Amino acid sequence: MLSVRNHQIYQNSKPFFYFADTCWSAFTNIAKTDWNYYLDYREQQGFNVVQINLLKQWDASGNDLNIYPFAITKNDSGYTFDYSKINTAYFDRAEEMLANVQAHHMIPALVLLWANYVPDTWASHIARNNLFTFKDLSHYVAYVTKRFKKFDPIYFVSGDTDFNTEKTINYYREVLKTAKENDPDALYSFHIKGRFSDVPEEFLDQMDFFSYQSGHNIDGQATAYTIPLAERAKFDGPMINTEPCYDQISYSRQKYGRFSPHDVRTAAWSSVLAGANAGITYGAHGIWSWHHTGASFGIVAGEGFDVPFDWHDALRFRGANDLAFLKQIMTTTFPSGCNPTGKTLNDTVQIQSATNDTQTSYLIYLPTNTELDVTPLGLNQENSKITIWDPQTHLEKQGHWISSTRIGLSTCLEDVLIKINKREG
């Protein structure tokens, strides 16, 4: 059972670092044998959460399973659901898949209503499906929350959403109200669109943790740290970047280029050290949409991503192990949580740092290797001991001071992680 206290999530009264993989299209795209293989692999890497869209992902890759959550009518431009007719076979299958998640000692984080099903959201204008009929909302939400509560899930009330109108808000108000009536013990949050942080106050008051996404726009990557630094003044609970840039996804808006493991590490470390330290999420471009080579993918409008890798290849992207290393360092260095220092180092906001409550342990992340002046932290060679890791190789490196308050250049070729323990006395 999960619970929340201060800025952390707990499982059975022990700190729980939310370490999720993104598999939005699991229920519509993945064969059962592939599902077990995937879960085996991710469990070995240390993942403890899987993020899944309960309904059909509007931008999922094509597949041959042809299983849908509701009665469906297809046409040349898309598909129309009859939301009054739940396909029990679809949810029977989903229940079996969730039992497998639980058997792999992982927690499902389930999205109840993605933005493309809700009127007046950014995605409502470009999705292939018809909008959810409001009169059928409570029946659907009650059905899934009653059925899946035995798996102790986390619920995202929304998926990739904004809150443009009162009509949009009313949809999510109904979803949250119905879900909490039927599964009051679950944790609830809202998955919101990339680089977005404005959540209606009524939802801020009801969510258990704040979820945001720094996303896949190359020009918006600073939101990995700017959002948690700003939101801490409004939300005094756990915070998680639940969609940093995916490993090998292309830059959104059809820009040329793909995010590298280095980019993924930068977004992740910047998030957790800037205050979103309750956990982190990983995504591989080919896993979230569950892509097979040659299958259809996405649409031109909207975010406009380039073709994904085949899921067999995407499963082995090394960025997943990089974030497993992040989890290891965060949970051993800050078992009781941490706080951003709020200090600017080397005259750049790109370097983030955090400390524990007693200000005796510090972690500092440098996206690019350089010398580091720690004067703003009140640290120096006389009162501190340094440890340096290479986030790319996960190896410990030799650290050295070049002056009383300046740490020298390490042999890391990309980014650098520095731990500083303050000596007693």
Per-residue confidence (pLDDT) for residue 253, from 0 to 100: 82
Q: Which of 333, 359, 377 is the last residue of a domain?
A: 333
Mean pLDDT by 10 residues, the chain (425 residues): 96 97 98 97 98 96 95 90 98 98 98 98 92 98 98 98 98 98 98 97 97 97 98 95 98 92 98 98 98 84 79 98 98 96 98 97 98 98 97 96 98 98 84
Does 156 share its domain with 185? Answer: yes
Question: What is the length of the chain?
Answer: 425
Structure tokens at 341: 């220092």
Helix (H) or strand (E) holding 154: strand 154-159
Does 227 share its domain with 313? Answer: yes
pLDDT in tens, 291-333: 999 999 875 544 678 999 999 999 999 999 999 999 999 999 9
* Measured distance CA(310)–CA(287) in Å, rounded: 8
Report how many domains make up the chain. 2
Per-residue confidence (pLDDT) for residue 425, from 0 to 100: 63
Q: Which of 333, 364, 386 is the last residue of a domain?
A: 333
Question: Residue 239: phi, psi to the nearest 5?
Answer: -130, 140
Beta-bridge partners for 280: 19, 241
Does 42 share its domain with 132? Answer: yes
Domain range for residue 394?
341-422
Query: Which residues neighbour 8 within 8 Å (Cβ) at sequence distance 6 or greater?
Result: 15, 16, 238, 278, 336, 337
Does 276 share its domain with 362? Answer: no
Does 304 share its domain with 418? Answer: no
**In Å, what is the CA distance from 423 to each residue of 48, 324, 339, 382, 405?**
34, 28, 19, 8, 15
Does 360 share its domain with 297? Answer: no
Does 327 share its domain with 346? Answer: no
Structure tokens at 183: 């599964």
Does 140 share its domain with 105? Answer: yes
What CATH number did the domain enclosing 392 receive? 2.60.40
What CATH number did the domain enclosing 258 receive? 3.20.20.80
Does 60 share its domain with 159? Answer: yes
Does 304 share its domain with 368? Answer: no
